[in-house]
Amino acid sequence: MRLYLSSYRLGNKPEKLTGLFTGDKRVGIILNARDASTPQDRVTGLQVQIEELNKLGIESNEVDLRNFKDSQEVRVELSNYAGVWIPGGNAFLLRRAMYDSGFDSVIGSLVGNKNFVYAGYSAGSAVTGTTMRGQELVDDAGAVGEVYGGDVIWDGLGLVSYSIAPHYKSDHPESSAIDKVVDDFIKENIPYKPLQDGQAIVVSAELEEIAG
């Protein structure tokens, strides 16, 4: 398994991300955490991601999960990439898009092949745990019904055995809300790992570290 779960953007040690790739560095950018944004904001945001990844020698283009209706379609599309890069936004929108498209039913086996890289930040990191509980203190869960017309998905992807609290004790607009999320994790006995902006959880095979 190869994971790069950042608090904010590429973090302070982006070489840890590039070091996870075993061959071609080509990723699909999944921007569905921003499905409530205007089309122009999405285009602008996508271009920022492409340019930042390009500076690391990582080629990329968008994989919009709204274009897929079953897991087989997603699997075929992702077979063209060495990994995914999933930026921040509303974690509940992202999680619902992963469910509707079937992404959530194939990502486990993809990262399990030891060559495919799951990478992202903020919402892209927050969805990887076992539960989405606590995230409602940061993101608007009601946006799911407004944007997709479906229910909130409360189960996480289960790629890691704990919840992630990004932007912890950081100079970020969501940091004060993250303090409440951490308090909720403690109250509900939910295992968690806080990340300050600049930090990332890096998993390579059986090794895990917090870089940055």
Instruction: Encode pLDDT of 97-126 as tens digits.
Output: 999 999 999 999 999 987 999 999 999 999
**Residue 192 predicted with pLDDT over 90:** yes
pLDDT for 114 equals: 78
pLDDT for 206 equals: 82
Alpha-carbon span 35 to 38, nearest angstrom: 8
Mean pLDDT of the chain: 96
Count the neighbouring beta carbons within 10 Å of the beta carbon of residue 113: 9
Alpha-carbon span 171 to 138, nearest angstrom: 15
Q: Are strands 207-211 and 200-204 parallel, antiparallel or unpaired?
A: antiparallel
pLDDT for 197 equals: 97
Burial readout 43-80 (b: 16 or more C-beta within 10 A, e: otherwise): eebbeebbebbeeeebebebbbbeebeebeebbebbee
**Residue 205 predicted with pLDDT over 90:** no
Task: Read off φ and ψ for residue 158, nearest 5 degrees.
Answer: 75, 25
Would the pTM count as exceeding 0.95?
yes
Mean pLDDT of 79-90: 97
Phi-psi region of 114 (alpha: psi -120 to 50; beta: other; left: phi over 0): left
For the chain, the structural domain boundaries read 2-211
pLDDT for 113 equals: 81
Tokens of 52: 């930042």
Helices 91-101, 71-78: inter-axial angle, 10-degree rounding: 100
Helices 71-78, 103-112: inter-axial angle, 10-degree rounding: 40
Report the percent of the chain where pLDDT is more than 90: 95
DSSP annotation of 159 reads S
Task: Give the number of C-alpha atoms closer than 13 A to the C-alpha of residue 104, restricted to the C-beta side.
Answer: 18
Per-residue pLDDT tens digits for 25-84? 999 999 999 999 999 999 999 999 999 999 999 999 999 999 999 999 999 999 999 999
Q: 2-211 belongs to which homologous superfamily?
A: Class I glutamine amidotransferase (GATase) domain (3.40.50.880)
Of 173 and 2, more confident: 2
**Residue 12 predicted with pLDDT over 90:** yes
Question: In this structure, are residues 25 and 17 in contact, taking their beta carbons and an 8 Å threshold?
Answer: no
pLDDT for 38 equals: 95
Mean pLDDT of 147-158: 96
pLDDT for 72 equals: 96
